[in-house]
Structure 1
Amino acid sequence: MTTDEISIRASHTLIEKELLVFSDNCLSCDEIESPDKCNTTTECNDGNECFLMEVLTHDFKPAVRLGCMEKKNYCRMQCSNLAEFGTFTPEHMKQFFQYTSRLFHISSGEEFQAYVGIEDANQSGSRPKWVWEVSGQTMIHGMQTRFNPTHHTYCMVAIHRTYSSDHSYIAGLANVDCSKQYKPLCQIKLS
């Protein structure tokens, strides 16, 4: 990528989701030796994600903490933010999605979707004003490829789908209900 050197990480590359989820609930324990020692679960509300955090106990022994965390805070815990594409052109978006498809082994016909750092400044759902959370810039016209006029469309996901028959693709952003359906896409800007 030629604009801002960016390293993108999705939550499923940072932790093994299967270790944290038990019967559609997240494991929930504080300062235990390992995730397999946790027997307590909790249901995360919409907009939250299962997390695992390595910590030190009061006597400086390694431990893990498991539970639910709001998606923005999940990225912040990883010293990053939800991904922003404020300076991207449509060509940069295409390059980014081709890269992520290879990185996450998305095969032809599958769709990659993850939360990004954009929000509806109006919080109305009818005439949204999409702004990037960190910079506050308004989203560039044409980046949004789908509009879903639901009641609570305050979250935005990045979408990429490649079709094998003619090598065409969809790449862009779509508004969605904030739910546990999507993982956060975290971004670290390298200086």
Structure 2
Amino acid sequence: MNGADLLCETLLANNIEMCFANPGTSEMHFVAALDRQPRMRCVLGLFEGVVTGAADGYARMADKPAATLLHLGPGLANGLANLHNARRAGSPIVNVVGDHATCHLVHDAPLTCDIDSLAWPMSHWVGRAETPDTVGERAQDAIRAARGTPGQIATMILHADAAWSQTSRGLPAPLPPATPARPDQTRIDAAAAALR
């Protein structure tokens, strides 16, 4: 199993079966993994703003995280406006943002940029999968973050070589369901008093 397959299987094991995507060449191995998995529904958006807007709408209606697949930093940047809306609405989203192979970063290709800095203003969690053996753990970290209360935006940066390389790791166990936090009784009492 390669890192891309491990990512797809980890999403599915945690009840994330919808991925809105506008991929590029760096993400082709993940696209192939999505295609190999009949339980995963992948919807192509012709613009990243459509992808992130659709993920926001799906998450609001389904009351569970949606996944996005975006091409490098510029693709993420194109989707930031709707990620802002999703963040404000408490919509749970797991963004998968492709990045160049780790060995290619030194060449400063035209689409190379600081993805982490772009992601943080609209994300509650940002992490990188730089090797195939870290893909499952980072995916679980992202899912755990997205399931926060209220729903949160998690952005996982997936290097191309982490996706195409074989992993020795097995599928991580599904995360336990998120437990809703108990409401603050003081705030409930204050709201009730204000309504009276």
TM-score, normalised by the number of residues in structure 1: 0.30
- Greater helix content: 2
Structure with a larger share of its residues in strand: 1
TM-score (structure 2 length as normaliser): 0.29
